[in-house]
Amino acid sequence: MDTFLDIYDRSLNKTGEELSGDKVKVYQSENKTIVVLSDGLGSGVKANILATLTAEIIVTMLRADVDLKEVIATVIGTLPICKVRKIAYATFTIVEIDHQSGGYKIINFDNPPALYFQRGKNAPLNTTSESISGKDISLSQGVLARGDFLGLMSDGVVHAGLGVVYNFGWGRSAIVQYIEGLFARAAYGARPVVQEIIRKTGALYGGAVGDDATFVGIYAREKHKLMVFTGPPIGENLDAACVARLLAFDGRKAVCGGTTGTIVAAYLGEAIHADLGSLREDIPPIGHLSQVDLLTEGIITMSKAFDQMNACHGDVSRLPNDANGAVLLARELLGADTIFFLVGQKINEFYQNPLLPRSLSIRKYLVEEIAKFLRDHKKVVKIEYC
């Protein structure tokens, strides 16, 4: 499946609680993606422990390719039953997606039913019911195509607004209508949909959240790929091959470095046109070449871009609204799903000055720090040295 699964979740804790009683766990391998949303009974520490235990058991067993029925039976058999309310101490929703076929399974135990949208419109799920270990489990199956969206939620989302005089509650139908409105306004992507659902949920609670509320979005879309070519190759005989690889790359292309940019320009037979409008006191201007999406200065700009990514905690929507090289590079990096760094190893003696900060001294170190940050934010990153 040459499709990227854009997965994002956000939660609201019950007012007065430091820990959420909901837990989301995501596991991705080369072959499959597993998403689990577990809702512990009640709130606070006890609910958090139960939800976390439930999610961990499910993911651990599914990673080992244990049969779904056995997984569900194990979890249900492990969870204690509340003596007063006669219900399990945790509920859960499982989504398992096969990367090769795009086929998905949704297993739901006492959570609100999952939502399914095709190209922004609500669509019915093919759902059956089955009894496992004496509990009713719903199972939905289908194939996830580009433009499809799955939404998972804990009951704290559905219950928002209940009991408020001026509102009859959020409710499933209202949530569906709201999401369709978001898609109609081109809010394609898991993050903007989830953020808006949680914002609306919080507003309906009127500042006093009555139950932990979690929403998970899974959006199937085209992969966003980026190649960053930075630093001249160790030998001039490698210049042409590196530039050819960059220009043949099927995705967006960024070049970081004055010498690197000159190598690309020479290969294209073009001159670099500096954009002085992007010049800042501490950030050099960007440049323009016909087949490159972003051309920046090297180490300084990359270091500033790293600072920007840290400052916004990896949330591209929180980057400053400024068209300088560092912000533009940070936006490219955070907006990509897969980033390929092609790093030249020729030494620029200026950046080896021991009086300079380490982050400015060694290109390799900086690229590896950026790569670690991106991986921590669920990006696929590859580095190749030339």
Mean pLDDT of 244-249: 96
Q: What is the value of pTM for the model shown?
A: 0.81
User: Any idea which of 194-198, 306-310, 319-323, 344-348 has the lowest mean pLDDT?
Assistant: 344-348
- Given a cut of 70, whether residue 356 has pLDDT beyond it is no
- Given a cut of 60, whether residue 301 has pLDDT beyond it is yes
User: 186: helix, coil or strand?
Assistant: coil
The residue ranking higher by pLDDT, 248 or 69, is: 248
User: Any idea which of 256-260, 282-286, 308-312, 361-365 has the lowest mean pLDDT?
Assistant: 361-365
| Per-residue pLDDT, 294 | 97
Q: What is the pLDDT of residues 16-72, one digit of tens each?
A: 999 999 999 999 988 999 999 999 887 888 889 989 999 999 999 999 989 888 888
Contacts for 331 with CB less than 8 Å, ≥ 6 apart: 316, 319
- Percent of the chain whose pLDDT exceeds 70: 91
From the candidate CATH numbers 3.40.190.10, 3.60.40.10, 3.30.70.1150, 3.40.50.970, the one assigned to the domain spanning 4-221: 3.60.40.10
Tell me, rounded to whole angstroms, the distance of Cα 351 from its chain centroid: 34
How far, CA to CA in Å, does 153 sit from each of 158, 177, 192, 287? 8, 15, 16, 45
Average pLDDT, the chain: 89
| Per-residue pLDDT, 86 | 53
| Per-residue pLDDT, 234 | 86
- Give the residue extent of every domain in the chain: 4-221, 225-385
Of 211, 220, 33, 251, give the one whose Cα is nearest residue 111. Answer: 211
- Given a cut of 50, whether residue 360 has pLDDT beyond it is no
| Per-residue pLDDT, 348 | 63
- Given a cut of 80, whether residue 79 has pLDDT beyond it is no
| Per-residue pLDDT, 199 | 94
Task: Give the pLDDT band (50/70/90) at residue 149.
Answer: very high
